[in-house]
Amino acid sequence: MDRTPLATAVPRRWLNLGVLAHVDAGKTSLTEALLQLGGAVAERGRVDDGTTQTDSLAMERRRGITIRAAVATFHAADVGVNIVDTPGHPDFIAEVDRSLSVLDGAVLVVSAVEGIQAQTIVLHRALRRLDVPTIFFVNKVDRMGADVDRTIGKIRHHLTESVVPLGSRDQLCADLAGYDDLLLQEWVDGGLPSAERLWRSLRELTSGCVVSPVLSGSARTLAGVEELTDAILRLFPTSNGDAEGPTAGQVFKIERTSKRARLCSIRLRAGSLAVRDHVAQGTVTALQVHQPGGAVPAARATAGQIIQVEGLDQARIGDWIGTRPAGVPTPNFRPPALQSTITATDPARQNDLYRALAELADIDPLITLRVQDDELHVSLYGKVQQEVIAETLATEYGIEVVLGQPSVICIERPTGIGHAVLRYGEPDHHYPVTLGLTVAPAPPGSGVALEITAEHGSLPLHVYGPTEVFREAVLKYLEDPLSSGPHGWPVTDVKVTLTESGYPPASPRPAEVRATTALVVTQALQAAGTTVCEPIDRIRVEFPSDTISEVLKVLGRHGATTVSSEPAVVEALLRTGSVDALRHELIGAAHGLAVVDAHLDHYAVRRSASASSSSPKG
């Protein structure tokens, strides 16, 4: 078939391409090969040498894995291709989902030697969930033990039967005719359609996520990479850079510049963005567009491009700049279930550590920072992410840290009913506010509820206005004291009743009401008592049917309670804190092909002998 020539002309269209794979399948190596053939680099970087274009973090180069999504660009014909190199490690699956939401298409790399791995299945499901058109590239065909046909068979068995290997015209037509009735009729009536007609059918089916083409080759030797580039340009949808209409852009990554300024990576989906433009998150002070060789300053960018923007000081990952287009899928990933204490090795740097972590949490909404009894706690997905946070603090902030053993994030629920009251004028109460609160258990999953039974005339409505505004203010005041209960965990599933209120003339100020609320609810919780509850996941384990005996043994060792089972699928309930260990042990039991989907099901009373011994305070 004809190949689209590579060129370096200024692009009129843009294609944002994801490259995904299980760890060590050759994802970053393929990215380097695409960049070299596209004329963006003279020589390919090597993961082992730490010279790749997309693994820009020092720790990525040392570890040989991708931690944060990175963008590299090449031009082909009139198309600018932004390659988004995404992480493959399970600890960074949230980073993967963020990146997938900005893609026009993706290449899912599968090793012809190792074949399908558990993470390959997870990534493919994410692509299907977000309706991202996908091409499979069977890599490492030059390695001993490589078997392309076997690998394609595994793709059909474990991922999707709707794959179309790009081979002879006869075979391609036969494969496509199973999905394209019009093509089938043309074949019956007029003989074998032209190559261009087959490409047109394949493009429609690929961009509609009906089929996934399959190519094979070697990123190391460049075999098959030119054919892959041709397929990418022919089959994936592109944007023509139309600047008409309102601006719509999605923030999928935020970094800090060398001067600590916030640098937002944005996929522009509609309209345009220019320096000095005002948006809800701030004013654009600088803008860069991706070009071969790196990002370059620009005055303006248009739809389809991925850009880097400074000046949006209120932006967070996931924000929309301007208007969110209708029909754009929302990335769906679970917040971290683990946390760890973190302490500066030099006690004099503890305040610096807090500021550094607060800066990291400000960039990434999935990183939660908590302070309890002068200890810092940071949320995590796993141990690799824990190590990466430590390296980030050491390399970017010069702070060496010690991290505690990761523990599951629990909650506290009121055990009984507790009441407390502080009245203005009492010797131990220093604020001109009277406040009485009762706390009581509420139904599981109900969160925090507030009822006001105090006399309407006793409420400080001259400060807050309508009763509903006062109620919303008190709910806000409850957030901080309820974030850390008697055992140090967040308190939830609680009903708070405001039973008594009062104040002297010309008082109180909102800050005094806030402070009194915190004191009273803390006392009420102490009186009620709380029970520490740990999260229980509902897990779905898929595995080869011939490994069921070993899989069930592993589930039993980890205390899973089976809910249902089929020949190659088991659903069970398992403590969230045991899920990572289960995944690790299933690698051997299911020959690397077990896929564990875990979702929070409920919270149950923690089974440890002493709840407080495993709490942040303990």
CATH code for position 367: 3.30.70.870
Residue 7 falls within a domain, yes or no? no
29, 148: one domain: yes
- State whether 376 and 500 are in the same domain: no
pLDDT confidence band for 98 (50 / 70 / 90)? confident
CATH number at residue 538: 3.30.70.240
Residue 327 carries which side chain, given as an amino acid letter?
G
Q: Decide which of 386, 408, 430 is a domain's last residue.
A: 408
Nearest to 242 by CA among 208, 201, 272, 210: 272
Q: Is 93 found in the same domain as 220?
A: yes
Compute the half-sphere exposure of residue 394: CA atoms within 13 Å on the CB side of its CA. 14
pLDDT band, very low/low/confident/very high, at 488 (cuts 50, 70, 90): confident
pLDDT at 94 over 80: no
Task: Name the pLDDT band for 618 (thresholds 50, 70, 90).
Answer: very low
The pLDDT of residue 45 is 53
pLDDT band at 613 (very low <50, low <70, confident <90, very high): very low
199 and 122 in one domain?
Answer: yes
Structure-model confidence comparison of residues 408 and 507, the more confident one? 408
User: Is 110 in contact with 44 (CB distance < 8 Å)?
Assistant: no
> What are the residues whose beta carbons fall under 8 Å from the beta carbon of 245, sequence distance 6 or more?
270, 271
Average pLDDT over residues 206-229: 96
Confidence of residue 274 (pLDDT cuts 50, 70, 90): very high
Q: Tell me if 189 sits within 8 A of 200, measured CB to CB.
A: no
Cα R_g (the chain), whole angstroms? 28
Structural domain includes residue 368: yes
Q: Which domain CATH number covers 314?
A: 2.40.30.10
- 549 and 522 within one domain: no
What value does the mean pLDDT take over residues 19-39?
88
Q: Find tokens 């997905």 and name the residue.
A: 381
- Does residue 538 share a domain with residue 524? no
One-character DSSP codes across 387-443: HHHHHHHHHHH---EEEPPPEE--EEEE-S-EEEEE-TT-TT--SS-EEEEEEEE--
What is the CATH classification number for the domain harbouring 25?
3.40.50.300
Is 487 in the same domain as 450? yes
**Within a domain: residue 220?**
yes
Mean of pLDDT values over 50-74 = 59
My answer on whether 523 and 606 are in the same domain is no
Structure confidence at residue 14 as a pLDDT band (50, 70, 90) = very high
Given a cut of 90, whether residue 54 has pLDDT beyond it is no
Q: In this structure, are 430 and 485 located in the same domain?
A: yes
- Range of weakest confidence among 360-364, 423-427, 429-433, 475-479: 360-364
Of 408, 442, 468, which residue is a domain's last? Answer: 408
Question: Is there a domain that residue 183 lies in?
Answer: yes
Residue 195: how many other CB atoms lie within 10 Å: 13
Residue 256 tokens read as 């800090």
Q: Domain end: 269, 292, 322, which one?
A: 322
Where do we find the tokens 């390399």?
A: 395
- Identify the pLDDT of residue 382: 75
Which three-class secondary structure state does DSSP give residue 48?
coil
Q: pLDDT higher for 204 or 293?
A: 204
Domain for residue 212, yes or no?
yes
The position carrying tokens 């991925």 is: 306
**d(Cα 286, Cα 312) in Å, to the nearest integer?**
10
Of all residues in the chain, the percent with pLDDT exceeding 90 is 61
Q: Is residue 243 part of a domain?
A: no
> pLDDT-based confidence at 89, cuts 50/70/90?
low
**Integer Cα distance of 74 and 19 in angstroms:** 14
Helices 181-190 + 195-207 axis angle, to 10: 170
Given pLDDT bands bounded at 50, 70 and 90, which one contains residue 333? Answer: low
The verdict on residue 240 lying in a domain is no
Runs of H (alpha helix) within 101-180: 118-129, 148-158, 169-177
Note the pLDDT tens digit of each residue in 218-253: 999 999 999 999 999 999 999 876 677 899 999 988
Residue-range definition of the domain harbouring residue 35:
13-235
For residues 571 and 585, give the distance between their C-alpha atoms in angstroms, rounded to a whole number: 17
Query: How does strand 448-452 pair with strand 494-502?
Result: parallel
Q: Quote the pLDDT of residue 611.
A: 41
Output phi, psi for 363, to 5 deg. -75, -40
pLDDT in the model for residue 565: 79
pLDDT at position 52:
53
Residues 451 and 498 in one domain: yes
- Residue type at 46 in one-letter notation: R
Same domain (yes/no): 211, 230: yes
Computed over every residue of the chain, the mean pLDDT equals: 87
Domain membership of residue 333 (yes or no) is no
Number of domains in the chain: 5
Task: Report residue 511: phi and psi, to 5°.
Answer: -60, -35
Look at residue 99 in the predicted model and tell me its pLDDT. 76
Does 467 score more than 80 pLDDT?
Answer: yes
277 shares a domain with 369: no
Between CA 33 and CA 17 the distance in angstroms is: 14
What is the pLDDT, as a whole number, of residue 256?
82
